[in-house]
Amino acid sequence: MSDTLTKLTYQTFQQGKNYFGLAHKTLSTRLLNFISPVEQQTKPIPTEVLPKLQQRLDNLLEIDWQDAERGVYPTSLLFDNPWQDFFQYYPVVCLDLFQMWERAKQKRYQDFPPNVETSAYPSYYVQNFHHQTDGYLSDLSANLYDLQVEILFGGTADPMRRRILAPLKEGLKFFADTSTQQVRILDVACGTGRTLKMIRAALPQASLFGTDLSPAYLRKANELLSQIPGELPQLLQANAEELPYLDNYFHAVTSVFLFHELPAGVRQRVIEQCYRVTKPGGVFIICDSIQMSDSPEMEPLMENFHEIYHEPYYKHYMTDDLVERLEKAGFENVKVQVHFMSKYLIAHKPV
């Protein structure tokens, strides 16, 4: 396929996923409201925000394409979706909406069936984030998560995750001449493993490590990564507040969509742990939601996200100074980027 055709296919495909996500959200909310009405204090979205949103989406897809074109990752990654899971679990996601809706209506935010073990986890974690059935603590939740996120972000979750790859490769250049060891990269709160799969595509020789608190999500990540020929996923269940690795062990550390789900103090402790395990000269990259400081015009969307989905720490996150937190931990030369609805903090550990 010619480049122009591939690019067009990619953009059309992404716009299709965006419309699908929008249609799914609109129809399901109307249907659920019809069956069992709920009052939500959402902020109206000013009309001028919508074209800005579309512009940000177009920019995201353009840079996603350009990064593939200039070889940051293979073009095939742009089309990598867990289709089998999506088709298999779409009916379950739809059926689960009724439970999620009722849970949201009744403000049941720590709703776990007796067969889900919750006692071994910090209390801030034992939550139905996004009103998700079983929180992060069951195989059902792990199986539905990628599709739920795909719908929530209108198909842009992976393009947003991929924005860590260019700064990651750039950051690793520091070790190109000095290190004879194989490069080690840790993804903190790796969830179902999508980011690790992308890092593998971009850096075929690196040793990859992943941690998460959820055994179910790690099982799912293991299933995904084991499909890659020759891959031996090194996944560990761990609280990011106490990473089970030696000091200065990793050439790079990444974390995607974690920090908005942590209370403020925990955010700082996790950053300090990431600092501890990063090698001097290494890079730490956070990808998470946009914040007020970089996207004040998106405030109604951020407020609505906090209101509609159960995200207990998001309100504080919206105005938290992550650069200050990174510098407090010892990182320097912190660069900030924004792509669509995510921001990126690229921090360096001094040599």
Task: List, as own/partner pairs, every contact residues 245-249 make where C-beta atoms lie below 8 angstroms and the sequence separation is at least 24, other chains included.
Answer: 245/186, 245/209, 245/277, 246/277, 247/276, 247/277, 248/276, 248/277, 248/278, 248/279, 248/280, 249/184, 249/186, 249/277, 249/279
Which of 101, 125, 209, 259 touches ligand SAM (CB under 6 A)? 125
Query: Which residue sits closest to ligand SAM, CB atoms considered?
Result: 191
- From the list 176, 307, 317, 306, the residue with the least C-alpha distance to 251 is 176
- From the list 96, 104, 101, 109, the residue with the least C-alpha distance to 30 is 101
- From the list 195, 198, 231, 224, the residue with the least C-alpha distance to 210 is 195
Q: Applying CB under 6 A, does 190 fall inside the site for ligand SAM? A: yes
Q: Applying CB under 6 A, does 344 fall inside the site for ligand SAM? A: no
Stretch that binds ligand SAM, among 35-43, 170-178, 252-260, 324-332 (CB under 6 A): 252-260
Q: 6-25: which residues touch ligand SAM (CB under 6 A)?
A: none
- From the list 277, 217, 227, 288, the residue with the least C-alpha distance to 253 is 277
Which of 127, 239, 295, 342 touches ligand SAM (CB under 6 A)? 239
Which of 14, 127, 141, 195 touches ligand SAM (CB under 6 A)? 195
Q: Which residue has the tokens 């761990």?
A: 238
Partners of 254 in beta bridges = 187, 285
Q: What's the start-to-end Cα distance of the chain, in Å?
A: 45
Q: Applying CB under 6 A, does 171 fall inside the site for ligand SAM? A: no
Closer to ligand SAM by CB, 65 or 314: give it: 314
Stretch that binds ligand SAM, among 77-85, 254-262, 311-319, 329-337 (CB under 6 A): 254-262
Closer to ligand SAM by CB, 96 or 288: give it: 288
Q: Applying CB under 6 A, does 191 fall inside the site for ligand SAM? A: yes
Q: Position 126: which residue type?
A: V
Which of 101, 209, 257, 340 touches ligand SAM (CB under 6 A)? 257
Q: Give the interface with ligand SAM as residue ranges (CB under 6 A).
A: 125, 136, 161, 189-191, 194-195, 212-214, 217, 239-241, 256-258, 261
